[in-house]
């Protein structure tokens, strides 16, 4: 009897990989904070994981087709929330990203928008009834994506805003973007980079600073280039075998910036060495490949777009975060999913995995 | 069922596979990035991590003290605190600046200026905002640890000169190591190190400076010390004992008051310098902390040259003191019969030019003078004749032989050598022939001949000491002292010293310097700074008044002490410089007599208690 979706059809391999990564994250959060005023953060992180897992089960119960049916309403809800945050949300670290829920819990609403954009774009691309995207389709998808991107950008949160874009790009690729549009897009981006470079003076000072810092990290060792340089020192000094658990001087003495969150990979690289990094990155690769496998086995194209939307966001997070830690990309504030400390982000990942389970457990239904 | 859920299109399997490949490719790229940092460059980053973590804090070694010959402290060091401002949080500093300025009694603008000056230094290098903190300042920093974390105390060792400018010219001063010294030290010094820059501080810097220690600590990212790794204690610099006698120095300082010039008192047998001063001088305490640039420039460019140690650096015409060289040359060379006399009407004509005696215009001249009276009365006419008969080369030979024209080799930096002219010298320097008339001027210590006070002291002591020239020095027990010998016949020594005895004791030019029960002898000099002709034209302005010299010693033969005194613009050597030398010699003998009296009192017969103590001590030393 394979008619009803059941929890036993969850992708347990995928979950095992996710929990392994999250477990390594909890250990590293402990290592980074146990000797500081922030000691005990790992418990909070586990609490958020538990909440996320509960959400995962919940979200998997609602048929993704039902969710996709509600895409327009969800989209409007998401946009409205972003506007409300801009109006009344409170600032933290200089950005309006948070709404306070009851009990002192702050929720970063842009995390919610990630889930919504996955559903909205999955719905949009599913509605294209050919295997070839027209220019009009592309423009529509672009507008759907860029409205929330713009709203998050003015929070300002460049990192999260950028995270929405790969959902559209991967979606368009899978939906059959034409090579000429692909090429045109590439040319457009190539043209926009120098324009954007010249427009950099219109960026917020902190963004200008980040770009400068990225290009010349050694310019001012105690100033702007400090974070990247300290991260590189942590990673490099870890060597092949690492300095040992809770023994990284860069990590333990606080030289690595936000070592329990955005730079947790640097802390891990210092203490666990290249070997540890290999393990973590291969786990992430396993996670991505397993997600793609789920897409391949989806029942319909809607399922493919849902799963690949999740894949696009997680993959982008890992790529950008790891690149930042080794100085290949500027500091953007994009956390490492499942490892970095952060309630909303951790909850998001499990909810997103819930969407994947949702698709997977329904592949044989009907 | 909604249109979009219709399952009429295939899953894009091919594109999904492409996404997989892309993911694998990107992960490999990331791993290559980590490999580069963690394997290829790991050594470099290990160094950087270590440099982050470990901070070396120097422990400054105190400089050694300087003691006088009796062990009294002339210079020492004491711990003091400097207040540092950590500049890692400029915004907070800007906000707290008024409070800091007020609390430490620094002007707000001053403080801003200091920060401005350090703007281009790395931010983690703190600025010293107050080099010599008072107890109140230290209390202020300690009590505001919590709300003014940018303030920090650093212990430093400061040089202290308890007697101010006394002996300053010989002691010299310390200062921050210069850029050149840093380079030449080949890593021995760090920027900001304090080193001897002049005088004895410079000469014996290696002995005095000691070895700085080092404390290595682990710091966290905000510079807080977490724990100490190791502690290498500083090795304090060694003290040095000088040959200076504080009592004699004090008398010299007191007598000179604010006269311009120099005094050197020396043990004629050993070369131990007992007193040395130069006027005007400076206060080395001004250099001990950090001398403000304008104050330094004022000292360095002062036309009165307070930084010059005139005792070894003033190269001036010796005037009539040079007649001792002439007298010795006359008797030793045997070129002139020692019975020679000359008639002094107050002037004489040589080579068509009139040369005056120093009594010209005051008396009708010395009349007929012989060798002895020529020295006692310092008759210029007699020595003009001696010079004419000897010729410049003989004069030059004996002047050099008696130690003029080259450095005495005293243990001080920057000694000058003076000048003894000769035919060869004019040829070499001016490319011309020697004029015979110049010899006449040189005969009375004028013209091109110049000497330093230390040279004259040594020369007079050497002649009176029958040709043994002790090596002047300031460090007690200095090794490898080789006195210089130049054989002078006993007859010459006897006749010349008789002359110098007469100068003081037979109504000579320094009759006012006479001492009871002491064979105080000497030779005065009044050296023109410029020629008589020029002076007559300009009138008797102070700038052109004669330099007064007196070099005195006692006893007459084989002297114990010799004192050279120079009073610039002092006019009459015997009258102005003589009493200063006399006071020092008197003090020397007073002290010597008091000491032998004490020893006599402490002899076993006089004090049985003391004798027992001595016996007990001797007994205790036996094995």
Give B89→chain A minimum CA distance, Å: 10
Give the sign of the dihedral formed by CA B310, CA B315, CA B319, CA B321.
Answer: positive
The DSSP string of B107-156 is -HHHHHHHHHHTTTS-TTS-EEEESS--HHHHHHHHHTTTT-TTEEEEEE
Given this model, what pLDDT does residue A365 score?
Answer: 65
Burial code (b: 16+ CB inside 10 Å, e: under 16) for B38-74 equals beebbeebbebbeebbeeeebbbbbbbbbbbbeeeeb
Give the sign of the dihedral formed by CA B419, CA B422, CA B426, CA B428.
Answer: negative
∠ CA A284-A336-A176 to the nearest 5 degrees?
A: 60
Per-residue pLDDT tens digits for A159-203: 888 899 999 999 999 998 888 888 988 898 888 877 766 666 666
Beta bridge partner(s), residue B526: B548
Evaluate if residue B451 carries a pLDDT over 70. yes
Distances from the Cα of A362 to the Cα of A1, A289, B410, angstroms: 13, 20, 104
What are the backbone dihedrals phi and psi of residue B515, each rounded to the nearest 5 degrees, phi first?
Answer: -125, 145
Structure tokens at A306: 């849902």
Burial code (b: 16+ CB inside 10 Å, e: under 16) for B259-289 equals bbbbbbbbbbbbbbbbbbbbbbbbbbbbbbb
Nearest CA in chain A to B120: A220
- Bridge-based pairing of strands B347-350 and B261-267 is unpaired
What's the pLDDT band for A216 if we cut at 50, 70, 90? Answer: low
Give the sign of the dihedral formed by CA A202, CA A207, CA A211, CA A216.
Answer: positive
Say how many residues make up chain B.
Answer: 623
Residues 191-250, chain A, touching B (beta carbon < 8 A) = 220-223, 230, 232-240, 249-250
Per-residue pLDDT tens digits for B213-247: 888 888 777 667 778 888 888 899 999 999 999 99
Give the sign of the dihedral formed by CA B216, CA B218, CA B220, CA B221.
Answer: positive
Q: Are the Cβ atoms of B16 and A328 closer than 8 angstroms?
A: no
Question: Which residues in chain A have Cβ-Cβ distances shorter than 8 Å to B23?
Answer: 285, 288-289, 292, 315
Mutate one of B22, B26, B31, B34 to test the A interface: name it (highest A CB count within 10 A).
B34
Cβ(B464)–Cβ(B494) below 8 Å: no
Question: Which residues in chain B have Cβ-Cβ distances shorter than 8 Å to A237?
Answer: 42, 45-46, 48-50
A207/A32 Cα distance (integer angstroms): 27
Evaluate if residue B409 carries a pLDDT over 80. yes
CATH 3.90.1310.10 domain span(s) along chain B:
55-241
Cβ(A361)–Cβ(A6) below 8 Å: yes
Give B182→chain A minimum CA distance, Å: 25
Cβ(B510)–Cβ(B525) below 8 Å: no
Cβ(A362)–Cβ(A5) below 8 Å: yes
Q: Are the Cβ atoms of A126 and B4 closer than 8 angstroms?
A: yes
A10/B466 Cα distance (integer angstroms): 117
Given this model, what pLDDT does residue B604 score?
Answer: 58
Q: Which of A359, A364, A365, A351 has the alpha carbon at shortest distance from A59?
A: A351
B193/B188 Cα distance (integer angstroms): 10
B503/B527 Cα distance (integer angstroms): 17
Per-residue pLDDT tens digits for B527-557: 887 554 454 555 555 456 788 999 999 899 9
Give A152→chain B minimum CA distance, Å: 27
Given this model, what pLDDT does residue B507 score?
Answer: 83
A108/A163 Cα distance (integer angstroms): 14
Interface check for A295 against chain B (CB to CB < 8 A): the answer is: yes
Per-residue pLDDT tens digits for A83-130: 888 887 666 555 556 666 544 455 678 888 999 999 999 999 998 888
Mutate one of A182, A224, A233 to test the B interface: name it (highest B CB count within 10 A).
A233
Neighbours of A36 (CB within 10 A): 14
Q: Are the Cβ atoms of B219 and A278 closer than 8 angstroms?
A: no
CA B442 from centroid of its chain's CA atoms: 31
Mean predicted confidence (pLDDT) in B589-595: 92
Give the sign of the dihedral formed by CA A148, CA A154, CA A155, CA A157.
Answer: positive
Mutate one of A301, A313, A365 to test the B interface: name it (highest B CB count within 10 A).
A301
Q: Are the Cβ atoms of B27 and A292 closer than 8 angstroms?
A: no
Cβ contacts from A onto B, under 8 A: 161
Distances from the Cα of A48 to the Cα of A90, A333, A338, A345, A360, angstroms: 21, 20, 11, 9, 24
Given this model, what pLDDT does residue B620 score?
Answer: 37
B443/B385 Cα distance (integer angstroms): 9
Q: Are the Cβ atoms of A232 and B16 closer than 8 angstroms?
A: no
Per-residue pLDDT tens digits for B74-130: 999 888 888 888 776 677 788 888 888 888 888 888 888 878 777 766 665 677 788
B515/B554 Cα distance (integer angstroms): 10
Q: Which of B53, B342, B48, B504 has the alpha carbon at shortest distance from A233?
A: B48
Q: Are the Cβ atoms of A269 and B34 closer than 8 angstroms?
A: yes
B3/A127 Cα distance (integer angstroms): 7
Given this model, what pLDDT does residue B469 score?
Answer: 93
Neighbours of A179 (CB within 10 A): 7
Given this model, what pLDDT does residue A51 score?
Answer: 94
A122/A308 Cα distance (integer angstroms): 9
Q: Which of A104-108, A238-242, A331-335 has the highest mean pLDDT?
A: A238-242
Give A330→chain B minimum CA distance, Å: 15
Q: Which of B229, B314, B30, B349 has the alpha carbon at shortest distance from A326?
A: B30
Mean predicted confidence (pLDDT) in A25-49: 89
What's the pLDDT band for B189 if we cut at 50, 70, 90? Answer: confident
Mean predicted confidence (pLDDT) in B543-572: 88
% of chain A residues with pLDDT over 90: 54
What's the pLDDT band for A224 if we cut at 50, 70, 90? Answer: very low
Q: Are the Cβ atoms of B34 and A221 closer than 8 angstroms?
A: no
Interface check for B214 against chain A (CB to CB < 8 A): the answer is: no
B88/B517 Cα distance (integer angstroms): 73
Burial code (b: 16+ CB inside 10 Å, e: under 16) for A88-106 equals ebeeeeebbbbbeeeeeee
Mutate one of A124, A169, A175, A253 to test the B interface: name it (highest B CB count within 10 A).
A253
B510 vs B296, more confident = B510
* Of the partner residues A220, A222, A301, the one whose CB lies closest to the CB of residue B88: A222
Nearest CA in chain A to B220: A253
Beta bridge partner(s), residue B553: B521, B562
Interface check for A254 against chain B (CB to CB < 8 A): the answer is: yes
Range with the poorest average pLDDT among A160-169, B46-55, B347-356, B614-623: B614-623
What's the pLDDT band for B612 if we cut at 50, 70, 90? Answer: very low
How would you class B117 by CB atoms within 10 Å of its CB: exposed for 0-12, middle for 13-18, buried for 19 or more?
Answer: exposed
Given this model, what pLDDT does residue B92 score?
Answer: 75
CATH 3.40.710.10 domain span(s) along chain B:
246-282+307-472+481-598
What are the backbone dihedrals phi and psi of residue A236, each rounded to the nearest 5 degrees, phi first?
Answer: -60, -45
Nearest CA in chain B to A265: B34
Question: Which residues in chain A have Cβ-Cβ distances shorter than 8 Å to B51?
Answer: none
Q: Are the Cβ atoms of A304 and B11 closer than 8 angstroms?
A: yes
Q: Are the Cβ atoms of B19 and A223 closer than 8 angstroms?
A: no
Q: Are the Cβ atoms of B49 and A237 closer than 8 angstroms?
A: yes
B299/B312 Cα distance (integer angstroms): 19
- Bridge-based pairing of strands A90-92 and A95-101 is antiparallel
Cβ(B274)–Cβ(B575) below 8 Å: no
% of chain B residues with pLDDT over 90: 50
Q: Are the Cβ atoms of A322 and B30 closer than 8 angstroms?
A: yes
Neighbours of A87 (CB within 10 A): 8
Distances from the Cα of A144 to the Cα of A75, A95, A150, A167, A175, angstroms: 9, 24, 11, 11, 16
Q: What is the CATH number of domain B246-282+307-472+481-598?
A: 3.40.710.10
How many helices and strands (H and E) does chain B possess?
24, 21
Beta bridge partner(s), residue B552: B522, B563
Question: Which residues in chain A have Cβ-Cβ distances shorter than 8 Å to B46?
Answer: 236-237, 239
Evaluate if residue A287 carries a pLDDT over 90. yes
The four Cα atoms A316, A318, A324, A329 give a dihedral, to 10 degrees, of -20
> What secondary structure letter does DSSP report for B576?
I
Q: Which of A224, A257, A259, A232 has the alpha carbon at shortest distance from A323?
A: A232
Interface check for B414 against chain A (CB to CB < 8 A): the answer is: no
Evaluate if residue A204 carries a pLDDT over 90. no
Cβ(A280)–Cβ(A270) below 8 Å: no
Evaluate if residue B609 carries a pLDDT over 50. no
Question: Which residues in chain A have Cβ-Cβ distances shorter than 8 Å to B87?
Answer: none
B264/B455 Cα distance (integer angstroms): 10
Cβ(A227)–Cβ(A326) below 8 Å: no
Domain ranges of chain A: 20-360
Per-residue pLDDT tens digits for A299-313: 889 999 999 999 999
- Bridge-based pairing of strands B54-59 and B173-176 is unpaired
CA B549 from centroid of its chain's CA atoms: 22
Range with the poorest average pLDDT among A42-51, A324-333, B345-354: A324-333
What's the pLDDT band for B66 if we cut at 50, 70, 90? Answer: very high
**Which homologous superfamily does the CATH classification assign to the domain defined by B55-241?**
Penicillin-binding protein 2a (Domain 2) (3.90.1310.10)
Question: What is the rounded average pLDDT for all residues in chain A?
Answer: 86
Interface check for A93 against chain B (CB to CB < 8 A): the answer is: no
Question: Which residues in chain B have Cβ-Cβ distances shorter than 8 Å to A69?
Answer: 2
Cβ(A278)–Cβ(B81) below 8 Å: no
* Of the partner residues A223, A253, A319, the one whose CB lies closest to the CB of residue B220: A253
Interface check for B28 against chain A (CB to CB < 8 A): the answer is: no
Evaluate if residue A345 carries a pLDDT over 80. yes
Q: Taking each helix axis as running N to C, give the angle between helix B42-53 and helix A226-238, from 0 to 180 degrees, rounded to the nearest 10.
A: 120
Per-residue pLDDT tens digits for B268-309: 999 999 999 999 999 998 887 666 667 777 888 888 888 899
Given this model, what pLDDT does residue B565 score?
Answer: 95
Mean predicted confidence (pLDDT) in A264-269: 95
Interface check for B51 against chain A (CB to CB < 8 A): the answer is: no
Question: Which residues in chain B have Cβ-Cβ distances shorter than 8 Å to A179?
Answer: none
| Gyration radius from chain A CA atoms | 21
Evaluate if residue B575 carries a pLDDT over 70. yes
Per-residue pLDDT tens digits for B464-490: 999 999 999 999 988 878 889 999 999
B484/A220 Cα distance (integer angstroms): 63
């Amino acid at each position: 009897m394979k008619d009803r979706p059941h929890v036993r059809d969850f992708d347990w391999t995928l979950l095992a990989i996710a929990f392994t990564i999250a477990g390594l994250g909890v250990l590293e959060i402990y290592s980074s904070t146990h000797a500081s005023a922030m000691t005990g953060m790992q418990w909070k992180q586990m609490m958020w994981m538990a909440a996320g897992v509960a959400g995962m089960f919940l979200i998997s119960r609602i048929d993704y087709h039902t969710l996709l049916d509600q895409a327009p309403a969800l989209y409007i809800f998401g946009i409205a929330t972003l506007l409300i945050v801009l109006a009344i949300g409170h600032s933290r670290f200089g950005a309006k990203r948070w709404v306070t829920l009851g009990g002192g819990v702050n929720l970063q609403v842009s995390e919610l928008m990630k889930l919504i954009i996955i559903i909205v774009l999955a719905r949009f691309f599913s509605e294209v009834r050919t295997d070839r995207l027209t220019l009009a389709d592309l423009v529509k998808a672009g507008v759907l994506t860029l409205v929330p991107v713009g709203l998050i950008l003015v929070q300002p949160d460049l990192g999260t805003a950028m995270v929405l874009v790969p959902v559209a790009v991967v979606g368009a690729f899978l939906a059959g973007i034409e090579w000429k549009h692909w090429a045109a897009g590439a040319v457009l981006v190539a043209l926009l980079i120098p324009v954007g470079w010249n427009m950099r003076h219109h960026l917020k000072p902190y963004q200008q600073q980040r770009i400068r810092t990225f290009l010349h990290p050694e310019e001012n060792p105690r100033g702007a280039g400090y974070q990247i340089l300290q991260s590189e020192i942590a990673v490099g000094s870890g060597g092949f075998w690492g300095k040992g658990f809770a023994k990284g001087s860069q990590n333990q003495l606080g030289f690595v910036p936000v070592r329990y969150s955005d730079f947790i990979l640097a802390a891990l690289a210092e203490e666990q060495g290249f070997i540890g990094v290999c393990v973590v990155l291969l786990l992430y690769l396993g996670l991505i490949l397993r997600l793609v496998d789920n897409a391949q086995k989806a029942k319909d194209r809607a399922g493919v777009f849902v799963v690949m939307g999740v894949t696009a966001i997680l993959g982008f997070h890992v790529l950008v975060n790891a690149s930042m830690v080794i100085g290949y990309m500027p500091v953007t504030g994009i956390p490492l999913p499942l490892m970095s400390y952060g309630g909303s982000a951790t909850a998001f990942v499990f909810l997103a995995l819930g969407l994947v389970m949702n698709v997977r457990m329904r592949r044989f239904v009907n | 069922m909604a249109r979009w859920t219709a399952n009429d299109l295939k899953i894009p399997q091919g594109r999904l596979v492409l996404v997989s490949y892309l993911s694998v490719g990107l992960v490999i790229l990331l791993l290559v990035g980590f490999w580069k940092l963690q394997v290829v460059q790991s050594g470099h980053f290990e160094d950087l991590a270590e440099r982050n973590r470990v901070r070396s804090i120097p422990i400054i070694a105190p400089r050694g003290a300087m003691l006088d010959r009796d062990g009294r402290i002339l210079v020492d060091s004491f711990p003091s605190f400097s207040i540092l401002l950590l500049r890692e949080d400029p915004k907070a500093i800007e906000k707290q600046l008024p409070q800091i300025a007020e609390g430490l009694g620094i002007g707000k603008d001053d403080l801003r200026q200091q920060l401005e000056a350090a703007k281009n230094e790395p931010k983690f290098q703190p600025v010293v905002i107050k080099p010599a903190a008072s107890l109140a300042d230290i209390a202020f920093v300690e009590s505001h640890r919590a709300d003014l974390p940018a303030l920090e105390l650093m212990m430093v060792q400061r040089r202290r000169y308890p007697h101010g400018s006394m002996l300053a010219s010989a002691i010299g001063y310390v200062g921050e190591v210069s850029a050149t010294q840093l380079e030449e030290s080949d890593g021995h010094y760090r920027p900001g190190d304090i080193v001897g820059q002049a005088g004895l501080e410079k000469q014996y810097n290696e002995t005095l400076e000691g070895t700085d220690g080092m404390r290595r600590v682990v710091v966290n990212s905000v510079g807080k010390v977490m724990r100490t790794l190791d502690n290498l204690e500083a090795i304090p610099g060694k003290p040095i004992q000088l040959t200076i006698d504080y009592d004699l120095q004090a008398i010299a300082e007191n007598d000179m008051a604010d006269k311009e010039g120099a005094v050197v008192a020396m043990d004629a047998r050993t070369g131990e310098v007992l007193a040395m001063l130069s006027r005007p001088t400076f206060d080395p305490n001004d250099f001990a902390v950090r001398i403000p640039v304008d104050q330094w420039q004022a000292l360095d460019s002062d036309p009165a040259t307070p930084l010059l140690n005139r005792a070894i650096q003033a190269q001036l015409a010796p005037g009539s003191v040079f007649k001792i060289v002439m007298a010795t040359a006359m008797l030793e060379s045997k070129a002139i019969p020692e019975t020679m006399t000359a008639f002094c009407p107050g002037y004489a004509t040589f080579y068509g030019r009139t040369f005056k005696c120093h009594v010209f215009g005051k008396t009708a001249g010395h009349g007929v003078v012989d060798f002895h009276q020529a020295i006692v009365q310092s008759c210029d006419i007699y020595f003009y004749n001696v010079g004419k008969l000897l010729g410049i080369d003989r004069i030059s030979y004996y002047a050099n032989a008696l130690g003029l024209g080259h450095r005495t080799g005293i243990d001080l930096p920057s000694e000058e050598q003076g000048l003894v002219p000769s035919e060869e010298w004019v040829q070499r320097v001016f490319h011309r022939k020697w004029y015979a008339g110049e010899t006449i001027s040189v005969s009375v210590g004028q013209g091109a001949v110049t000497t330093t006070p230390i040279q004259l002291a040594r020369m007079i002591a050497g002649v009176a000491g029958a040709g043994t020239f002790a090596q002047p020095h300031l460090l007690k027990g200095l090794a490898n002292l080789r006195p210089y010998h130049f054989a002078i016949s006993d007859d010459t020594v006897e006749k010349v010293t008789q002359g110098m005895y007469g100068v003081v004791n037979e109504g000579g030019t320094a009759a006012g310097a006479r001492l009871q029960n002491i064979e105080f002898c000497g030779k005065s000099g009044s050296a023109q700074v410029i020629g008589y002709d020029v002076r007559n034209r300009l009138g008797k302005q102070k700038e052109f008044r004669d330099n007064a010299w007196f070099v005195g010693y006692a006893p007459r033969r084989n002297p114990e002490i010799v004192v050279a005194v120079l009073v610039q613009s002092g006019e009459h050597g015997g009258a102005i410089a003589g009493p200063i030398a006399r006071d020092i010699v008197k003090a020397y003998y007073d002290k010597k007599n008091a000491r032998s009296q004490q020893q006599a009192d402490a002899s076993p017969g006089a004090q049985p208690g003391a004798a027992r103590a001595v016996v007990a001590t001797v007994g205790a030393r036996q094995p």
